[in-house]
Structure 1
Amino acid sequence: MLIKKKNDIAFILENFKQLAQWDATGQKFYFVFADRKRGGQWTLMNNSEDRFSVHGLGEDYMDEQEHFFDESSQIHSFLWENRAAFNAALKPATMCS
C-alpha cells in the first residue's frame, strides 16, 4: 500500500514487518528510501520493543545516531513529509509480490 492519504500511514506502520527487511545483527526491521532534502537515504527501523526510529546517511553527511520517535504523531509527520520517496521505494517491492 502506498501513502496517498494520512490515514494510510497507520496501515503502513501496522504492517511494517511485511514491507521491511530483517537485520539479524541489529535485531530490527528496516526499510530504506531516499532522503530527497539532503541527497542521501533514510533508514526507517522498528526494533524488538516495537519502537520506530530513523537514521540518515548520505555522501556528505551521516546522522550521529538514530532518532527515536517518542510519539506516533512524530512518525506520522515524518512519513507524510517523505511520502513521495517512501512510495517510490515501496513500488518495486510491491510489484515483485
Structure 2
Amino acid sequence: MNVIKSMREVSALLSDFKKIADYDSTGKKHYIIFEDHVREGHWTVMKYDDGTYSIHGKGETYCDKEERVVSTEELKKMLWENRKAVNKVVREANDQALIS
C-alpha cells in the first residue's frame, strides 16, 4: 500500500482499509490506531462490517466520551491532515507484509 502523498492515496487507503487494519472480532470492526499530535494522544479509526466509519481519540489528559460516526468525506479530511502519523502505520503494515 502506498503512503499518503495526495487525496488519491487517502481514497486508496479507505478502499484497502482491511489490508492494514487489525480486526476486533468482538466489535466486528477493522481498526487502525495512529498518533494524535494535536492533542498528544492517539486516534482510532474503525470500519464496521456494514461499511460505516467511526473515530475515537484518547490520551493521558483526555478521552473522547464515545466513538463518533463520520462520513467518508470527513474521514478523508482527517486522514489527510494526519497523514504523517497515518503513513507511519502504512509503512509498518508494509514492513509486516514483507516479513510474512
**RMSD over equivalenced CA pairs, Å:** 0.9
Matched, 1:3 2:10: no
In structure 2, how many angstroms separate the alpha carbons of the residues matched to 1:67 and 1:3? 23
In structure 1, how many angstroms separate the alpha carbons of the residues matched to 2:89 and 2:60? 19
Q: Which amino acid aligns with 2:18?
A: K
Aligned length: 96
Q: Which amino acid aligns with 1:35?
A: D
Matched, 1:48 2:67: no
TM-score with structure 2 setting the length: 0.91
Residue 89 of structure 1: how far off its partner (Å): 2.1
TM-score with structure 1 setting the length: 0.94
Any gaps of 5 or more consecutive residues in structure 2?
none
Secondary structure at the counterpart of residue 41 of structure 1 = strand
Q: Among all aligned residue pairs of Structure 1 and Structure 2, give the percentage whose two residues are the same amino acid.
A: 35
Q: Which amino acid aligns with 2:13?
A: I
Runs of 4+ in 1 over 6 A off after TM superposition: none
Q: Which amino acid aligns with 1:61?
A: Y
Any gaps of 5 or more consecutive residues in structure 1?
none
